[in-house]
Structure 1
Amino acid sequence: MEAGLTDEDLIQESYEWTEKVMAFDQDVQNWQSAVKAGLVEAGVTPDNGFTYDHLVGTKVGGAIFDKNGTRHTAADLLQYANPEGLSLFLHATVQKILFKHKGTYYQVS
């Protein structure tokens, strides 16, 4: 592939795979559905229902929190990586670390 050219099918497949791995349906709370209904009534249309697509109008999207309330990040994708062909560079400031042991979280600040 030449620089500047993209494989649009591969990009779309990659987005769809990532959504399956780390995006989750969310339960819409009463206040959220009321805000959405108000937007539709005010003319923010169409109502696109549930979708991950970036569309004009209103929609309900996915969340990075699963049904158990566990937050998932891009780091979760590393479990699918080939360690032989992977280089990871990280520059981050840590504010706190959470450890989970037998369903209980422990925080180190």
Structure 2
Amino acid sequence: MHPQTLRQYDRIGLVSPGRTAGRGRRYSARDVAMLREVQRLSQEEGVNLAGIKRILELELENGALREQVGRLRSELEDMHVRLATSRRVFAAGASGDIVAVRPGQRPDRFPSSSGALVVWRPQR
């Protein structure tokens, strides 16, 4: 590529090469791959530089979102495994709070020492 082309790509942010001590540009293997993709999109696909920049931004965003989806799927699978192996059951206790009970059991609705009877009558 022509040096002026490389300067323009750097100026508009398509690539961000490192710098040498003398302020010369130093391109990594990733930068070179990016430059080849920019050249391909420009010459073979006829995409202008603004379009190329947008395409590259969307590809980066897409990659980040795919990584996030992978992490969330992994967390969800871990949660399913934990819930499947967990033998705890939760129910509402006598005072309305949440209590853990063994599978197949019901919580005590009213404490045995209370002996209280609650009558409900609808208002007319």
Q: Which structure dedicates a bigger proportion of its chain to helix? A: 2
TM-score norm. by structure 1 comes to 0.25
The structure number with the bigger radius of gyration is 2
Q: Which has the higher contact order (CA 8 A, sep 6+)?
A: 1
